[in-house]
Structure 1
Amino acid sequence: MRYQTSKFLCLLGMAGLLLVGNGSANAQAPAAADSIKYNHLDLFGPITWPTPGSQLRSPGGFPGVQYWQNRADYHIKASLTEGTQDTTITGEVTILYTNNSPDKLDYLWMQLDQNLFKPGSRGASTTPVEGDRFDVKGFARGGYHIASVTVTYLDKSYTVKPVISDARMQVRLNTPLGGKGDKVQVKINYSFSIPFYGADRMGRKKFKDGYVYEIAQWYPRMCVYDDVEGWNTLPYMGLGEFYCEYGDFDYYITAPSNMLVVGSGDLQNPAQVLTATQNRRLDAARGSDKTVMIINPQEATAQASVPAMGATKTWHFKMLNSRDVSWAASKAFIWDAAKVDFPSGRKGIAMSAYPVESYGADAHESWGRSTEYLKYSMEIYSGEYYEYPWNSAVSVSGVALGMEYPGIIFCLDNLKGKDLWGDITHEIGHNWFPMIVGSNERKYMWLDEGFNTFINQYSSLHFNNGEYGDTVSRPARTLIRSLVRNQDPLMTASEAMNLRDYGLYYVKTSLGLDMLRNVVLGHDRFDYAFHNYIKNWALKHPTPYDFFRAMNSASGEDLNWFFKGWFFTTWKLDQAISSVKLVTEGKPENGVLITLVNKEKLAMPVDLKIVQANGKTETLHLPVEVWQRGAIWTFKYPSTSTIESITLDPDKQLPDVDLTNNVYKASK
């Protein structure tokens, strides 16, 4: 999910007050003890993570020899019906649920996400009166209508009256489901009306040639049962996203015949739903690095004018080993596509579907480049992090500002240029976090939004020889004001996070990874550990503690001091130059004693740029361990002439909340 940068980043002026001192005396008065908040025992004290390493989850941060996760395979048939007042989805989902846990299960839990849009839902009840981006104040006809629930187990079928609690449904079993691979089938008949604005994740929007329907959270989904918390049943309330089991999806969408349907996974019946010309163009796109029009603007407008006359088409899609699927439909769609080259030599396809309003007068500056942005983002992330495991992806223009599902993304219809690039590369980046590395994004939003924001920097630097490289800023200094006012730590669950702070899930996490890579570990050790984490947890369910252990183990550093301070607290960083004194009065060539102070509760390694009067310039790196025993550190620097200046953090990598004490300058 995308956030709007301007809401969360406050630029901080860089004209800090430079401190003037005497080369043979203190640069400034030593910090008073009562001005120092730092306590080394708080930061470097022992930590016991709440989930200990075991044979399920290794102390080394990878799945253990007894790791298990359950599986949900879906067969879905759904129909979209346009009405004068409502557009409805009517469906039948058959779920084959495999219990790989060692536990017997007396009941199953499912997610009914559409119930968020019922008047009086928990999400609607907790929406601020002034509204917010995830406005879910209720939709008069919103929510699921569950017609029937049928369970088949041990060759016996029976009807169940489900217990529905807000956006969750419990299915109580007549006979407990056995563990270690036992299976049960649940068939549900359901329907719902499509909300106009589905919490900025789905919905419908009218354009000149018709509505664009972005359909997500459109079938009852299994909750995850895992080794950490058992059933994960946090309700869907708007901001917090999803946690889903992996499985195979075989689904059919029946829609009016004048609509194009695009969806997650591979279209199985193109000959039945596309014209011969469209199929020929689609085949050409599969071999083309340049975007190929499958339905051009003129054809889209002409198609929209053709009445459906009650006729329908059924579109058949499959997606294997995914945690979700989504789709979109419209008679207003332009459709284009291009080939994707994966590192292994495998080929895929990137596509875009959008109304003529998104195409605009200058296609090169608007959605005419959507497929190009999508194709190269998929190739960049596949080459650097993990090869995209599916064959296709599609970008859809519509009502949602930015939302992601496996193999399909929704982006706002009026974006163009660098804004469209940023939205597309962010949303498809979510196919790595959390669609491939399948974390619980409802409980740990930073683990997907922040990691994705971090890798977005890489794609922006590398796309088209850095065309949008100028959009990658150094976040450390621009985030200072946001971090100063920050009330809630990153480990806060989504729905408990202050709405002024939730943007920090994205940018504070990304900055933390930047600091680990650029300041603490270096590129080689960070990249090795981070890539191992991705490889080991691909298509699995890691927790934050698996990530912490993976980074510690593969990098060879105990980083718990960093994880504790950055993710579990709102502690700040304030490094200061306290004094610069000659070792021998009047003889700068005998060296100087430099005293540093760590004033706030967070600590980081120290980088100092030292400039001497003889022209020698040197950057020193002091490890974080200088703060292990206290807040003040003095060391001897072997100067050969008078020190002219010292600057802390010369590369501006750290979010130091007080820049006025970061520079020493000798008096004239």
Structure 2
Amino acid sequence: MKKFTVATLLLFAASFARAQKNPNDTITSNYQPSVLFSPLPYKGKGDEFHSANGEPGPKYWQNRADYKIAVTLDTVRKTIKGDVAITYTNNSPDALQYLWLQLDQNTYKKDARSNFVTGTQAQQHTSGYEIESVELISGTTRKKVEYKVTDTRMQVRLAQALGKGNIVLNIKYHYTIPGNFGNRTDFVDTKNGKIYEIAQFFPRMCVYDDSRGWATAPFLGSGEFYCEYGDIDYSVTAPWDIIVAGPGDLLNPKEVLTATQINRLAQAHNSDKTIMIRTADEINSPSSRPVNKGTLTWHYKMLNTRDVAFGASKAYIWDAARVNLPGGKKSLAMSVYPVESQGNAAWGRATEYLKKSMEYFSEKWFTYPWPTAINEAGIAGGMEYPGIVFDGINDKGSELYWVTAHEIGHNWFPMIVGSDERRFAWMDEGLNTFIDIYASDAFNNGEYAPKRDGEYAPGGGNPADEIIEHIIDPASPSIMTQPDAIPEKYRHPLTYFKPAFGLVLLREQILGHDRFDYAFKNYTHKWAYKHPQPDDFFRAMENGSGEDLNWFWNGWFYNNYKLDIALIDAKYIDNKKAVQLTIANKEMMAMPFTVELKFKDGSKQRTYFPVETWLQNKVTNFTIPVSQEVVSVVIDPDNALPDVNRKNNSKKL
């Protein structure tokens, strides 16, 4: 008989143990911890311009564009004729040999590149911007400058490069206003006259930033806007019977309003209840206008804004109410709409919806900065600009509330936090859809709550279930896809819904309210009136909350990883003094999760498993001591997670 040493016996025992098959190895799983938890999302390290903590760095710089605009609205020819002087300030370290401007009206031209994106060419067109002159102004001297128009962009080629400092560019132009095909800018007939929604009505500077240089992505439709901040002084000349509803301070009220209207506005500034400025009965009354012939020029000024738009019509009813802001500050919420939209079931409550949304967002995230906000009824049907939103003329009740809250919410993202909508639409649509979920809960004790399943759809659905169809769809793009490259089928789910629900998961399941809110609010304040990139948001949320969320950005934003947490087994051990659980992660996404034990007497006990459960393992075994008989075990009892297979989430004992 061969003799075995102690060392040999130990080695044999270890080899035998390795040879035994681990029951957990028989569980089928696609999960790869090393892939999910790899350091994928960040493109580089933080620097002196964009700090590693997600805040602007000590050497962050940003250029500026101030505008003085004078336009005439011709209601006979349906045209805008304009003259804009742009004072452009270069704060970058680079000498700029040329400047780029956005000419968004060119998207309506027959040969516009936007006509080729979807494969369905538009049937109605305009001639776009017709540039009359482009000049550089120095004191009293004007000099023509070379320029080149390419689709929705214009390059101004300077004879001498612009170093640090400013330059004044003057452009004269005109264009035909698109009709009901304009989508974001248009005109439409109502009982008492046409309504004009006028946006993208002047050449705007492209952003020059420290991430890409000139941001010259063309305007193709889904990718919206990226603009520099500055003061915009604008005047609109229109027929005498037209009301021009523009954001900012009205600088000449005595010239364009009656004494009665000025008094009513003063009342509204001190009233939480909606005050009528111009009633339905006054619409066709000459006494509701200060003159009864010719034209009037409305002069507005809006400070520190990235854009401006306005509504114009002789058909407007006009009402207003005070907005109460933190620190005793005030603003004025106003609505303008035709008689077809009046009544408390419809636009009669529009100002209330606007006011309450502004107050909620201001208290929760950042104080609304401008003197007025306008809710304008037309056919744009949901479009946002600083201080003014174009909402649906036929909207009523919950639909009107939800669209109002969503569109005015855009004044926080991206009008205050100035992200690049042309490349990262989720940074405005997703973040904004997220904040208006909670605004709905807060409004009038939840009158229109819950708003859980997307942008404007009726509430009540479970978003964790509804997002699954888009996660499991192999053709579904990721959140990080350029917005114009996302087919319409996926535009809302991937640009609005999925990023918003992702933030809900972060707040409700991963970080908790306090840590999430602190980090999110800090991001908002640090990047107010600046240009954050996606990494800035990711880093700000990680640093502010104290969590490494790389796995989350990887699985939820950069990929459409599926989640399937399965309860493989649940059994008594130790003479029924404990329940042993075997839980598997069967797909590529990981999430923290909750397990609920239900006892025979009806009571329940919950155990929270952090995401570290999946840091190394595809399968985890966990023992929960119990003191009474267990009836059932359930994973994710609230159905809060986007689990693609809930059938494997529970067992009866």
Name the TM-score, length of structure 1 as normaliser.
0.90
* 1:72 paired residue number: 65
Residues 282 and 288 of structure 2 are in contact (CA less than 8 Å); yes or no, is this contact kept in structure 1?
no
Deviation at 1:146, TM superposition (A): 0.5
Deviation at 1:51, TM superposition (A): 4.1
* 1:143 paired residue number: 128
1:96 to 87, 100, 117: 87
The CA deviation string for residues 358-391 of structure 1, in whole angstroms up to 9 with x for no partner, is 11xxx11110111111111111111111000111
Distance 1:304 1:515, change over 3 A: farther
Secondary structure, in 3 states, of the residue corresponding to 1:102? Answer: coil
2:627 to 637, 640, 648: 640
Residues 438 and 542 of structure 1 are in contact (CA less than 8 Å); yes or no, is this contact kept in structure 2?
yes
One-letter amino acid of the structure 1 residue matched with residue 627 of structure 2:
T
* 1:126 paired residue number: 117
Matched, 1:107 2:98: yes
* 1:488 paired residue number: 477
Distance 1:51 1:143, change over 3 A: farther
Matched residues in 2 for 1:347 and 1:401: separation?
A: 28
Matched residues in 1 for 2:544 and 2:273: separation?
A: 40
Distance 1:155 1:544, change over 3 A: farther
Percentage of pairs with the same residue:
47
* 2:569 paired residue number: 579
Secondary structure, in 3 states, of the residue corresponding to 1:563? Answer: helix
One-letter amino acid of the structure 2 residue matched with residue 475 of structure 1:
P
1:337 to 306, 314, 320: 320
Matched residues in 2 for 1:306 and 1:138: separation?
A: 39
Distance 1:456 1:31, change over 3 A: farther
One-letter amino acid of the structure 2 residue matched with residue 44 of structure 1:
F
* 1:177 paired residue number: 162
Deviation at 1:612, TM superposition (A): 3.3
Q: How does 1:173-572 map to 2 (within 5 A)?
A: 173-179=158-164, 182-197=165-180, 199-302=182-285, 311-359=294-342, 363-472=343-452, 473=460, 474-485=462-473, 487-504=476-493, 505-572=495-562
Deviation at 1:52, TM superposition (A): 2.5
Residues 609 and 646 of structure 1 are in contact (CA less than 8 Å); yes or no, is this contact kept in structure 2?
yes
Tell which deviates more after alignment, 461-470 or 247-256: 461-470
Distance 1:147 1:649, change over 3 A: same
Tell which deviates more after alignment, 641-650 or 275-284: 641-650
One-letter amino acid of the structure 2 residue matched with residue 575 of structure 1:
I
One-letter amino acid of the structure 1 residue matched with residue 307 of structure 2:
D
* 2:640 paired residue number: 653
Residues 303 and 331 of structure 1 are in contact (CA less than 8 Å); yes or no, is this contact kept in structure 2?
no
Residues 199 and 238 of structure 1 are in contact (CA less than 8 Å); yes or no, is this contact kept in structure 2?
no
* 1:152 paired residue number: 137
Deviation at 1:302, TM superposition (A): 3.5
Matched, 1:617 2:604: yes
Secondary structure, in 3 states, of the residue corresponding to 2:440? Answer: helix
Deviation at 1:283, TM superposition (A): 1.3
One-letter amino acid of the structure 1 residue matched with residue 99 of structure 2:
L
Tell which deviates more after alignment, 457-466 or 244-253: 457-466
One-letter amino acid of the structure 2 residue matched with residue 442 of structure 1:
R
Deviation at 1:142, TM superposition (A): 3.4
Deviation at 1:48, TM superposition (A): 5.9
Tell which deviates more after alignment, 629-638 or 369-378: 629-638
Distance 1:302 1:491, change over 3 A: same
Deviation at 1:602, TM superposition (A): 0.6
The CA deviation string for residues 552-593 of structure 1, in whole angstroms up to 9 with x for no partner, is 111111011101111101111111101123334xx212x232
One-letter amino acid of the structure 1 residue matched with residue 483 of structure 2:
S
Residues 526 and 555 of structure 1 are in contact (CA less than 8 Å); yes or no, is this contact kept in structure 2?
yes
Matched residues in 2 for 1:433 and 1:575: separation?
A: 34
Secondary structure, in 3 states, of the residue corresponding to 1:98? Answer: strand
Distance 1:464 1:31, change over 3 A: farther
The CA deviation string for residues 249-298 of structure 1, in whole angstroms up to 9 with x for no partner, is 10100000110001121111000001111111111111111111111001
Matched, 1:602 2:589: yes
Secondary structure, in 3 states, of the residue corresponding to 2:59? Answer: coil
Matched residues in 1 for 2:44 and 2:142: separation?
A: 39
Deviation at 1:188, TM superposition (A): 0.3
Secondary structure, in 3 states, of the residue corresponding to 1:500? Answer: helix
Matched, 1:59 2:52: yes
Secondary structure, in 3 states, of the residue corresponding to 1:469? Answer: coil
Deviation at 1:305, TM superposition (A): 12
Matched, 1:162 2:147: yes
Tell which deviates more after alignment, 239-248 or 452-461: 452-461
Residues 451 and 509 of structure 1 are in contact (CA less than 8 Å); yes or no, is this contact kept in structure 2?
yes
Deviation at 1:304, TM superposition (A): 11
Deviation at 1:308, TM superposition (A): 9.4
The CA deviation string for residues 331-376 of structure 1, in whole angstroms up to 9 with x for no partner, is 11111111111111112111011111111xxx11110111111111
Matched residues in 2 for 1:59 and 1:355: separation?
A: 51
Gaps of 5+ in 2: 1-22, 453-459
Deviation at 1:643, TM superposition (A): 3.2
Gaps of 5+ in 1: 1-28, 130-135
Matched residues in 2 for 1:32 and 1:265: separation?
A: 66
The CA deviation string for residues 439-466 of structure 1, in whole angstroms up to 9 with x for no partner, is 1111111111111111101211111222
Distance 1:51 1:335, change over 3 A: farther
Secondary structure, in 3 states, of the residue corresponding to 1:335? Answer: strand
Matched residues in 1 for 2:125 and 2:642: separation?
A: 46
Secondary structure, in 3 states, of the residue corresponding to 1:508? Answer: helix
Secondary structure, in 3 states, of the residue corresponding to 2:328? Answer: coil
Matched residues in 2 for 1:443 and 1:308: separation?
A: 47
One-letter amino acid of the structure 2 residue matched with residue 558 of structure 1:
D
The higher radius of gyration belongs to 2
Distance 1:307 1:535, change over 3 A: closer
Residues 437 and 450 of structure 2 are in contact (CA less than 8 Å); yes or no, is this contact kept in structure 1?
no
Secondary structure, in 3 states, of the residue corresponding to 2:389? Answer: strand
Residues 210 and 304 of structure 1 are in contact (CA less than 8 Å); yes or no, is this contact kept in structure 2?
no
Tell which deviates more after alignment, 313-322 or 338-347: 338-347
The CA deviation string for residues 124-183 of structure 1, in whole angstroms up to 9 with x for no partner, is 222343xxxxxx71544331000110023698642123111100000010100003xx10
Name the TM-score, length of structure 2 as normaliser.
0.92
* 2:13 paired residue number: none
Secondary structure, in 3 states, of the residue corresponding to 1:501? Answer: helix
The CA deviation string for residues 188-245 of structure 1, in whole angstroms up to 9 with x for no partner, is 0011111013552121111011110000000000000000000001100111110000
Secondary structure, in 3 states, of the residue corresponding to 2:490? Answer: coil
Tell which deviates more after alignment, 612-621 or 328-337: 612-621
Matched, 1:81 2:74: yes
Deviation at 1:477, TM superposition (A): 2.1
